[in-house]
C-alpha cells in the first residue's frame, strides 16, 4: 500500500504492507516456499514485523502455510494455516 496502510487510531492498522518472494524455507532450507514478509518500516514494530508466513502448494488451488515468529536469534513456528484459491 503506497499510503502506508489503513490506520485505525493510535498504533492500530486495518491493513498491513507486505512483500512476497520465493526462497528457501526458514526452518527447512531444502524446501522452496512463497514467503509473505511483513517486515516493513510502516508496519507496527510490535509483533507484526516479526512475522513471516511461508506457503507451499499441496494441490491445484490448495496451499499449506506456516506463520513464523522471529524469536531471539531465529524463527519459531507459531501456527499452521491453509489457503484455497478462489475459482
User: What pTM was computed for the model?
Assistant: 0.80
Domain with 76 in it: 19-41+50-84
Is the residue at 71 inside a domain?
A: yes
Q: How far apart are CA 58 and CA 17, in angstroms?
A: 26
Residues 6+ apart with CB under 8 A from 52: 26, 35, 36, 37, 38, 39, 67, 68, 70, 75
Do the Cβ atoms of 63 and 55 come closer than 8 Å? yes
What pLDDT digit, counting tens, does each position of 39-79 carry? 988 888 888 999 999 999 999 999 999 999 998 889 999 99
Is the residue at 7 inside a domain?
A: no
Cα Rg of the chain (Å, integer): 14
Do the Cβ atoms of 6 and 15 come closer than 8 Å? yes
Task: State how many domains the chain has.
Answer: 1
Amino acid at each position: 500500500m503506497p499510503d502506508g496502510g489503513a490506520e485505525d487510531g493510535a498504533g492500530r492498522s486495518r491493513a498491513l504492507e507486505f512483500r512476497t518472494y520465493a526462497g528457501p524455507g526458514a526452518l527447512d532450507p531444502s524446501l522452496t516456499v512463497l514467503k509473505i514478509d511483513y517486515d516493513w518500516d510502516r508496519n507496527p514494530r510490535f509483533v507484526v514485523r516479526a512475522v513471516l508466513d511461508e506457503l507451499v502448494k499441496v494441490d491445484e488451488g490448495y496451499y499449506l502455510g506456516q506463520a513464523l515468529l522471529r524469536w531471539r536469534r531465529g524463527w519459531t513456528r507459531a501456527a499452521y494455516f491453509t489457503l484455497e484459491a478462489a475459482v
